[in-house]
């Protein structure tokens, strides 16, 4: 086993690695003159509080000059104090002593959109606050710091025994988690929550601090921040300046507070200095952020099901929806703004799943998983490890059983929840009726208030004209393709075109006023009105199938699958004790490290590490929806007016590295060997999007925008030198 060799060697290497030298592209020579293949010490999303030992050694071998404590320290300020979970889904980092936050343009997109109108279109033209007073408040936005991480595994497992059934186990674990969270020592403005790692084999507690006054500071026009849009999304070479800036505000004591004009810029424990020296191939890179979800330890049958059954279904639904929405967005600028954010998020995973499927196939991931599984079985037999003997056949059986209900569930989610907006609205109504049936008037009132609170937001970006053809197409698709037992009666043998006309001609739920009218009055009146509405009546049957048939069956089988997966994870770690196992991403703070590296997407083709402004000009299509370039940027390019941000007379735009990232890592800082900001993570390359299930160091690359391009846009393009002046710019290489 090559891993064993490697770790014997790493064991010898506790000494400093100052003399580590680069040999060929993928190898390094250690101080003891041993050659290590760097591909074997990359990949993985590691827990920042547990870096000492293996991770610290690996990072240093890859060129880092930092210690584990420089990255995460509870008692002193460390890098982690500058890393901020951005609004639940993205990452951001603090880059000034005044709480200035950097994240992606696509992470700030919803906020930028919310301040935009056809007359004042910040999506199109960009936005720059030249003083604190000009910064724009975002009422529903929040950002979260991690103050401390503690292992609470033994408390969470208290009283849990092997002979308990899965439902009781899971109940007791939830109770224990609540107990642990409640008993946590923390300040009153802090929160505590417990998360599961290694598929439920380890539990960690996070003490967090959340700020709710976060203001928009700057965003480039979409022709920079979203340059290349969906055509270039998930692709290399890339030329997108995918960044936007916000600022955290705190009360007079620097503590979290609701928005108030009296709040002041937050003073962080740490902010990232910014390197002006750039990167070259082989340089160490660390990406620090909040990756959302990976599935690195699925069995071959599980991957097979995703790739061959679930992904194709979801891809088809989205493809149909996107075609329709796109045609309306191109015709009508108002619709373009309304649908910009929704369209981008639907298109994003549509394209990702296509790349993921291709990558899994090309890298033979399923075969490789099978090989690992037979090696696993062999050792389990040899060592007679009773607890692990039936796992693989249990997987086979359960995946077979869950297949049709998983597929139905994905169809319901994609059609009724994500893409046909009118059906999503009827689902709210359905939940309201359910609340009444279960909890009477009080439950109804609660549910109604929550819907009313969201109603304006839901309809602000709604157009029945766009939604209607989507309804017709997707409902037809569900009827034709979802497993028969999950297709309700009212979808069988129907003329969907006629049905769609009737529903959109009569339903009150296609407009805000209509919906308000339906929702007015007593519980009984509201429910009566709902049940007279053709859209509601239609949706209700579909949602009933989901509620009564799909979800209970799925949850029951999934609980069993999770139990097998937990045991399999434990088994893998026991059977292969020298392999590197990281816990799957779960939206908690992680470190991933690697190097700046090009890659070979196909035989005879090599992709370089860096793109330049020249490439923006090569892609420029005047007036195009995706590839237009603002005149000011063209002028700066022609004049080569790059200030202190150029590299040998050229303006770098993006670069790639081997860091193992996923959704949620958007906006994560790319950090150099010394702890300085060098880039901003925003995407992965097409060939490597499968890294969520199968990271391959040869072709999985994350894409980062070079921080010098960010600074150049802020300074030279936008003239916001007020922002540059707040930052600390450094020259670590000089
Ligand atoms: N692919 C990147 C990510 O997963 C960027 C997405 C931006 N959205 C888009 N449709 N271009 O978030
Ligand atoms: N763009 C992704 C996000 O929004 C990050 C890229 C990825 O999935 O690797 O988090």
Our mutation pick for probing the ligand 2 site, out of 661, 669, 700, 703, counting the most ligand atoms within 8 A of Cβ, is: 661
Q: Which of 601, 709, 665 has its CA nearest to residue 279? A: 709
* 667 close to ligand 2 (CB < 6 Angstrom): no
> Which percentage of the chain shows pLDDT scores above 70?
96
Q: Find residue 590's DSSP bridge partners.
A: 289
Two structure tokens written together for 693: 């299930």
**Backbone angle region of 119, left / alpha / beta, with phi > 0 → left and psi within -120 to 50 → alpha:** alpha
Distances (CA, A) of 210 to 87, 207, 254, 290, 640: 10, 10, 12, 15, 42
Q: What single DSSP character describes residue 414?
A: I
Cα torsion 443, 444, 447, 451 to 10°: value is: -170
pLDDT value at 541 more than 90:
yes
pLDDT category of residue 23 using cuts at 50, 70 and 90? very low
Listing DSSP states for 77-134 in one string gives --GGGGEEEETTTEEEEE-STT-EEEE-HHHHHHHHHHT--SSS-HHHH-EE-SSGGG
Q: Contact 192/184 with Cβ under 8 angstroms? A: yes
| Verdict on whether the full-model pTM lies above 0.85 | yes
Instruction: Give the orientation angle of helix 365-382 with respect to helix 391-412, to 10 degrees.
Output: 150
Measured between alpha carbons, how far is 396 from 394 in angstroms, rounded to an integer? 5
CA diameter of the chain: 81
Measured between alpha carbons, how far is 361 from 366 in angstroms, rounded to an integer? 8
pLDDT category of residue 1 using cuts at 50, 70 and 90? very low
pLDDT per residue over 505-520, tens digit each? Answer: 999 999 999 999 999 9
The Å distance, Cα 587 to ligand 2 centre, comes to 12
**Phi, psi (5° rounding) for residue 315?**
-60, -45
Per-residue confidence (pLDDT) for residue 13, from 0 to 100: 42
Q: Which of 687, 669, 693 has its CA nearest to residue 679? A: 669
Which residues have C-beta within 8 Å of that of residue 416, sequence separation ≥ 6? 423, 424, 427, 478, 539, 542, 543, 546
The Å distance, Cα 689 to ligand 2 centre, comes to 10
Two structure tokens written together for 578: 């020298």
If you average pLDDT over residues 463-479, what whole number do you get? 98
Cα torsion 571, 573, 574, 576 to 10°: value is: 110
> Which percentage of the chain shows pLDDT scores above 90?
91
Measured between alpha carbons, how far is 694 from 605 in angstroms, rounded to an integer? 22
* 694 close to ligand 2 (CB < 6 Angstrom): no
Distances (CA, A) of 278 to 241, 640, 680, 729: 16, 18, 12, 12
The Å distance, Cα 555 to ligand 2 centre, comes to 28
Q: Contact 137/275 with Cβ under 8 angstroms? A: no
Our mutation pick for probing the ligand 1 site, out of 110, 231, 348, counting the most ligand atoms within 8 A of Cβ, is: 348
Listing DSSP states for 436-492 in one string gives HHHHHHHHHHHHHHHHHHHHHHHHHT--HHHHHHHHHHHHHHHHHHS-GGGS-GGGS
Q: Find residue 288's DSSP bridge partners.
A: 591
| Catalytically active residues, by annotation | 106, 242, 666
Map tokens 């505000």 to a residue.
249
pLDDT per residue over 24-54, tens digit each? Answer: 568 877 767 777 888 889 999 999 999 999 9
pLDDT category of residue 2 using cuts at 50, 70 and 90? very low
pLDDT category of residue 118 using cuts at 50, 70 and 90? confident
The Å distance, Cα 560 to ligand 2 centre, comes to 30
**Backbone angle region of 102, left / alpha / beta, with phi > 0 → left and psi within -120 to 50 → alpha:** beta
pLDDT per residue over 543-601, tens digit each? Answer: 999 999 999 999 999 999 999 999 999 999 999 999 999 999 999 999 999 999 999 99
pLDDT value at 258 more than 70:
yes
Give residue ranges with CB within 6 A of ligand 1.
106, 229-230, 233-234, 344, 347-348, 663, 666, 682-683
What residue's CA is closest to ligand 2, atom 2? 663
Ligand 1 atom closest to the CA of 226, numbered from 1: 11
Which residues have C-beta within 8 Å of that of residue 608, sequence separation ≥ 6? 237, 598
Q: Which of 472, 456, 304, 466 has its CA nearest to residue 395? A: 304
What is the pLDDT of the chain when averaged over all its residues? 94
Which residues have C-beta within 8 Å of that of residue 166, sequence separation ≥ 6? 559, 560, 562, 563
Per-residue confidence (pLDDT) for residue 297, from 0 to 100: 98
Q: Which of 363, 280, 287, 294 has its CA nearest to residue 659? A: 287
pLDDT per residue over 148-181, tens digit each? Answer: 999 999 999 999 998 999 899 999 999 999 999 9
pLDDT per residue over 627-642, tens digit each? Answer: 999 999 999 999 999 9
Measured between alpha carbons, how far is 174 from 155 in angstroms, rounded to an integer? 11
Task: Give 79-142+212-295+583-730's CATH code, choosing from 3.40.50.10490, 2.40.10.120, 3.40.50.970, 2.60.40.10.
Answer: 2.40.10.120
């Amino acid at each position: 086993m090559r891993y064993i060799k490697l770790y014997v060697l790493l064991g010898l290497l506790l000494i400093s690695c100052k003399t580590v030298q680069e040999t060929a592209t993928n190898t390094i020579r250690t101080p003891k003159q041993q050659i290590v293949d760097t591909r074997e010490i990359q990949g993985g999303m590691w827990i920042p509080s547990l870096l000492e030992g293996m991770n610290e050694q690996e990072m240093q071998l890859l060129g880092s000059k930092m210690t584990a404590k420089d990255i995460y320290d509870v008692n002193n300020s460390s890098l982690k104090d500058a890393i901020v979970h951005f609004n639940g889904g993205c990452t951001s980092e603090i880059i000034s002593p005044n709480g200035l936050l950097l994240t992606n343009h696509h992470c700030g997109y919803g906020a930028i959109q919310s301040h935009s109108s056809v007359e004042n279109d910040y999506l199109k033209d960009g936005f720059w606050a030249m003083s604190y007073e000009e910064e724009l408040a975002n009422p529903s936005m929040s950002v979260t710091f991690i103050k401390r991480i503690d292992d609470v595994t033994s408390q969470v497992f208290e009283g849990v025994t092997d002979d308990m059934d899965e439902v009781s186990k899971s109940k007791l674990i939830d109770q224990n988690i609540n107990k642990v969270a409640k008993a946590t020592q923390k300040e009153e403005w802090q929160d505590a929550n417990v998360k599961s790692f290694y598929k439920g084999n380890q539990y960690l507690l996070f003490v967090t601090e959340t700020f709710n006054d976060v203001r928009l500071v700057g965003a480039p026009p979409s022709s920079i921040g979203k340059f290349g849009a969906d055509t270039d999304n998930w692709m290399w070479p890339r030329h997108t300046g995918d960044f936007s800036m916000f600022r955290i505000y705190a009360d007079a004591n620097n503590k979290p507070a609701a928005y108030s004009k009296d709040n002041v810029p937050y003073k962080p424990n740490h902010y990232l200095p910014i390197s002006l020296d750039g990167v070259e191939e082989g340089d160490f890179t660390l990406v620090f952020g909040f990756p959302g979800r990976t599935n690195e330890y699925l069995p071959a049958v599980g991957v097979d099901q995703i790739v061959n059954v679930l992904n194709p279904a979801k891809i088809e639904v989205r493809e149909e929806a996107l075609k329709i929405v796109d045609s309306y967005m191109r015709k009508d600028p108002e619709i373009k703004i309304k649908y910009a954010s929704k369209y981008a998020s639907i298109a994003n995973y549509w394209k990702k799943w296509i790349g993921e499927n291709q990558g899994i196939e090309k890298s033979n991931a399923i075969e490789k998983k099978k090989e690992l599984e037979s090696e696993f079985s062999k050792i389990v037999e040899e060592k007679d490890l009773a607890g692990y003997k039936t796992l693989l056949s249990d997987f086979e059986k359960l995946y077979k059983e869950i297949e049709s209900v998983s597929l139905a569930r994905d169809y319901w989610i994609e059609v009724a929840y994500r893409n046909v907006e009118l059906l999503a609205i009827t689902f709210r109504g359905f939940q309201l009726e359910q609340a009444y049936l279960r909890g009477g008037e009080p439950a109804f009132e609660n549910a109604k208030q929550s819907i009313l609170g969201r109603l304006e937001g839901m309809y602000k970006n709604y157009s029945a004209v766009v939604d209607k053809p989507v309804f017709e197409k997707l409902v037809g698709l569900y009827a034709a393709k979802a497993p028969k037992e999950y297709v309700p009666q009212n979808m069988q043998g129907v003329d969907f075109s006629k049905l769609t006309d009737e529903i959109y001609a009569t339903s009150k739920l296609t407009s805000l006023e209509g919906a308000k009218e339906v929702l007015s009055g007593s519980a009984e009146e509201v429910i009566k009105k709902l049940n007279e509405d053709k859209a509601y009546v239609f949706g209700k049957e579909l949602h009933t199938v989901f509620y009564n048939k799909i979800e209970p069956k799925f949850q029951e089988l999934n609980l069993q699958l999770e139990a097998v997966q937990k045991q399999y994870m434990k088994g893998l770690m026991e059977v292969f004790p020298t392999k590197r196992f990281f816990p799957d991403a779960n939206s908690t703070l992680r470190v991933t490290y690697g190097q700046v590296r090009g890659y070979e997407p196909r035989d005879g083709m090599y992709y370089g590490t860096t793109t330049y402004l020249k490439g923006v000009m090569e892609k420029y299509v005047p007036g195009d929806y995706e590839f237009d370039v603002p005149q000011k940027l063209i002028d700066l390019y022609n004049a080569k007016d790059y200030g202190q941000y150029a590299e040998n007379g050229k303006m770098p735009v993006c670069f790639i590295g081997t860091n193992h990232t996923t959704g949620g890592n958007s906006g994560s800082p790319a950090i150099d060997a010394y702890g300085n900001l060098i880039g901003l993570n925003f995407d992965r390359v097409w060939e490597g999007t499968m890294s969520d299930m199968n990271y391959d160091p040869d072709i999985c690359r994350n894409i980062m925008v070079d921080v010098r391009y960010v600074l150049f846009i802020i300074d030279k393009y936008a003239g916001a030198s007020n922002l540059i002046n707040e930052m600390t710019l450094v020259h670590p290489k000089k």
